[in-house]
Amino acid sequence: NVIPHRKLRELIRTIRTARTQAEEREMIQKECAAIRSSFREEDNTYRCRNVAKLLYMHMLGYPAHFGQLECLKLIASQKFTDKRIGYLGAMLLLDERQDVHLLMTNCIKNDLNHSTQYVQGLALCTLGCMGSSEMCRDLAGEVEKLLKTSNSYLRKKAALCAVHVIRKVPELMEMFLPATKNLLSEKNHGVLHTSVVLLTEMCERSPDMLLHFRKLVPQLVRILKNLIMSGYSPEHDVSGISDPFLQVRILRLLRILGRSDDDSSEAMNDILAQVATNTETSKNVGNAILYETVLTIMDIKSESGLRVLAINILGRFLLNNDKNIRYVALTSLLKTVQTDHNAVQRHRSTIVDCLKDLDVSIKRRAMELSFALVNGNNIRGMMKELLYFLDSCDPEFKADCASGVFLAAEKYAPSKRWHIDTIMRVLTTAGSYVRDDSVPNLIQLITNSVEMHAYTVQRLYKALLDDISQQPLVQVSSWCIGEYGDLLVSGQCEEEEPIQVTEDEVLDVLEGLLVSNLSTPVTRGYSLTAIMKLSTRFSSVNRIKKVVSIYGSSIDVELQQRAVEYNALFKKYDHMRPALLERMPIMEKTASNGPTEIVQTNGETEPSVPDTKHPPLVTQPANQVRERSRSHDISVLTIAGRFSVTDDVKNGLKIEFTFERANPNIAVITIHATNTTEADMTEFVFQAAVPKTFQLQLLSPSSNIVPALNQGSVTQVIRVLNPQKQQLRMRVKLTYTHKGSPVQDLAEVNNFPPQSWQ
């Protein structure tokens, strides 16, 4: 039952007896109904008590908006107890969007000029908590007056209120500048603390204020020195440290004032060294001050010895039992590792030990920092630790860790064999988590390491025998066996003891991949292509023919297309098969700022678009293509949003680009290929490459035959992701057969209109 006008304490006790949420809701609803009735009756006697109960229910998550006007009535009361509850209600129940702010402004203005400091304090707290920009403009003058008063109780509240005013109305900042002149001379720590907060806010918001307040650095240094050198003061002592909250605030302000300024940094170097060496580290309070000191040292133009001292403090943090302190240390070291690499390197063993921490956040930070510490001198040791971590870490870490290992190995590998072994280890242990480009990148690395071909194919073959669940590993293994299967069966490996394997055993493994439930369609494509390549390296040609013919009727369209094309090579084009299936030439990346990948082949540069989803069907030696290809000039035109790349009139091939924007970051470009000659252009292939800042996706073309006499066209869609809104550039390669001869043309399109990329 609802007891009329019961006290707040009794209401709390009653609500806590509720056994279910429904029972609590029922109690609250009945109490709210009684409070509404009291409000309607304009019961001044119990208004304060009812609003207090309403605020408690609001804190429990129940609606209490109907008490807003009652809060205003309490604020207008002359009794301090009424004002206190009224202002508290205003801070909890009102926000800047409420129209009642207009009604509050006058009440707050009156109370800011009240004769009682505690009433003035209530008004300052409320304005500093929820004052709108209009209220701040109207009342800034009163706040500025109280900031100059001699009453320390009001000055500290006025300083915090001024911070809120500046955040709401930055142009009022200069109004408070005269009042800040003597704030740091105050002995009261509360005023000092809030004054430093105000100065920090002003410096962060205005470069002019920052320059003005740099002259205060010696005064701030003196205050900080007094704090750390002063004896025991029970009023300010926290775990044996004098006013750590004020120390932290001063250190933050010094960090802002010393940033990018030699003189200010020089003036605070000594005090920062004193704080770093004299602060007690056995309690968390001391660690908080040391952490702020480290951040200040690393952010200003400090001496090198001081920076080493700061990093050593972070190194000690790594040994702390508190996981929060360890996490903070790792995060800070990660920010400084680029500028103070050698100093951070001294703590490498401690950082690596953090990889074994049970906390996932610490493990992630330790992993990121470990990769940042890798260099040419420690690559072997660091990779050993990181590969061990990759073996045992949770799945959420494996993708980032594998990616980091790839990048570090590519940059600092001491030898090609070590590089290949490391990447194979990653594929063996975390192959399902590696990036999409890891397969073509490893294939390129193996191709370029000519002296390692026999060793690599033997290692990958043995890896296949152990595990075929890691698809990237299986794809690389299949590709290598297809390229270097003859080296595998000949036992030519010199780096380790060669294994004895027959052609039939190799084909058994590849055929097993074609029927395995673990193999993806992409992996089956690699396997079938590998089997086809072995037809020029093994003597078991009849067996390979049978396998290829079987998959000519596969339900997998991609696999079926490959098999049909390979069957055609065995029959109609058998004389070309040995040349088409020759080993891949050496591939080298030449331009880091150019297209995604530029492949240098026998002295001729051509764009290459590695396709991680579709491995190459066949490879054709570049010298044969060159002997039978004709060179043509390609002109690039831009016509009102439609671009055309037109081959010379002799060939009659015309490529036009049209575009649309799928979203602000993606351009969808459609190519239209037409043929004005009397003969069809067959085996038409369009390839494109873009700079590394772009991502390009080529969808399947409508056909590979461009009909003669403009009787039709071939269309193909290109999606270009351009998140940085850079000017679009594209390198294009056209290959086709015309009147029995292969033709190959290269072009660069650099004059796309701004609408396609801005």
**Quick one: pLDDT band at residue 418, thresholds 50, 70, 90?**
very high
CB 579 within 8 A of CB 620: yes
Tell me: the pLDDT tens digits for 444-489?
888 888 888 888 999 899 989 988 888 899 999 999 999 999 988 8
List pLDDT tens digits, range 643-681. 444 444 347 888 888 888 767 778 888 898 999 888 889
- Say which residues have a Cβ less than 8 Å from residue 556's Cβ, sequence separation at least 6: 521, 524
Query: In the structure encoding, which two tokens stand for residue 234, read together?
Result: 């029970």
User: Which of 62-66, 130-134, 240-244, 324-328 holds the top average pLDDT?
Assistant: 324-328
Q: Rounded to the nearest 5°, which phi and psi values hold at 659? A: -140, 160
If one compares 124 and 742, the residue with the highest pLDDT of the two is: 124
> Which one is predicted more confidently, 75 or 652?
75
Q: What is the pLDDT of residue 588?
A: 61
| Residue found by looking up tokens 């490529």 in the block | 655
**Residue 359, token pair as written in the block:** 């906390």
H/E run at residue 653: strand 653-663
CA angle 425, 428, 432 (to 5 degrees): 125
- Residue 466 to residue 212: CA distance in whole angstroms: 71
Q: How far apart are CA 78 and CA 65, in angstroms?
A: 24
Q: Give the pLDDT mean for 304-328.
A: 90
pLDDT at 393 > cutoff 60 = yes
pLDDT-derived band of residue 544, with 50, 70 and 90 as boundaries? very high
Asked if 227 contacts 243 with a C-beta cutoff of 8 angstroms, the reply is yes
Cβ neighbours of residue 53 closer than 8 Å, sequence gap 6 or more:
8, 11, 31, 35
What's the pLDDT at 3? 63
CA 286 vs. chain centroid, Å, equals: 33
Distance between CA atoms of 737 and 675, rounded to whole angstroms? 12
Dig out the tokens for 711 from the structure.
């009787």
Q: What pLDDT sits at residue 632?
A: 35
Q: Which residues lie across from 742 on neighbouring strands?
A: 737
Given a cut of 90, is residue 437 above it in pLDDT?
Answer: no
Report the distance separating Cα 704 and Cα 713, nearest Å. Answer: 10
CA 639 to chain centre: 39
Q: Which amino acid is at 758?
A: Q
How many residues does this entry show for the chain? 758
pLDDT at residue 53 in the model = 92
Q: Which two tokens stand for residue 417?
A: 């064999």
Helices 47-59 and 8-15, axial angle in degrees (round to 10): 30
Top-confidence residue, 334 or 6: 334
Q: Above 80 in pLDDT, residue 552?
A: yes
Residue by residue, DSSP assigns 216-279 as GHHHHHHHHHHHHH----TTTEETTEE-HHHHHHHHHHHHHHHTT-HHHHHHHHHHHHHHHHHS
Q: Across residues 733-752, what is the average pLDDT? A: 85
Instruction: Count how many Cα atoms sit within 13 Å of the Cα of residue 601 in the half-sphere of its side chain.
Output: 20
Q: pLDDT-based confidence at 140, cuts 50/70/90? A: very high
d(CA 477, CA 639): 48
pLDDT digits (tens, 9 = 90+) for 179-200: 888 888 888 899 999 999 999 9
Residue 99: the pLDDT is 65
Residue 618 confidence (pLDDT) above 50: no
Tell whether the model's pLDDT for residue 352 goes beyond 70.
Answer: yes
- Identity at 138, one-letter amino acid code: D
Mean pLDDT taken over the chain? 84
C-alpha span between 457 and 460 (Å, rounded): 5
Give the pLDDT score at 610. Answer: 33
Find the helix or strand (DSSP H, E) in which 605 lies: strand 604-607
Which has the closest alpha carbon to 577: 639, 520, 532? Answer: 532
Q: How confident is the model at residue 756 (pLDDT cuts 50, 70, 90)?
A: confident
CA atoms within 13 A on the CB side of 94: 26
pLDDT for res 248? 94
Burial track 245-274 (b if 16+ CB lie within 10 A, e otherwise): ebbbbbbbbbbbbbeebeebbebbbebbbb
Q: Are 585 and 602 in contact (CB under 8 A)?
A: yes
Q: Determine contact, residues 424/383, Cβ cutoff 8 Å.
A: no
Q: Looking at residues 160-179, what average pLDDT do you find? A: 92
Note the pLDDT of residue 111. 92
pLDDT at 495 over 90: no
Tokens of 197: 């907060």
d(CA 631, CA 627): 11
Residue 438, pLDDT above cutoff 90: no
Question: Does the pLDDT value for residue 534 go beyond 90?
Answer: yes
Q: What is the mean pLDDT of residues 174-180?
A: 89
| Cα–Cα distance, 204 to 66 (Å, whole number) | 40
End-to-end CA distance of the chain, in Å?
69
Q: What average pLDDT does this structure show over 392-396?
A: 88
Longest alpha-carbon distance in the chain: 108
Lowest mean per-residue pLDDT among 93-102, 408-417, 666-675, 742-751? 93-102
What pLDDT score was predicted for residue 449? 85
Strand partners, 601: 604
pLDDT at 254: 94
Q: How confident is the model over 546-552, as a mean pLDDT?
A: 91
pLDDT band at 614 (very low <50, low <70, confident <90, very high): very low
Q: Using an 8 Å Cβ cutoff, are 716 and 704 in contact? A: no
Q: What is the mean pLDDT of residues 193-222?
A: 92
Question: Rounded distance, CA 594 to CA 485, Å?
Answer: 34
- Which residues 6+ apart lie within 8 Å of 262 measured at CB? 301
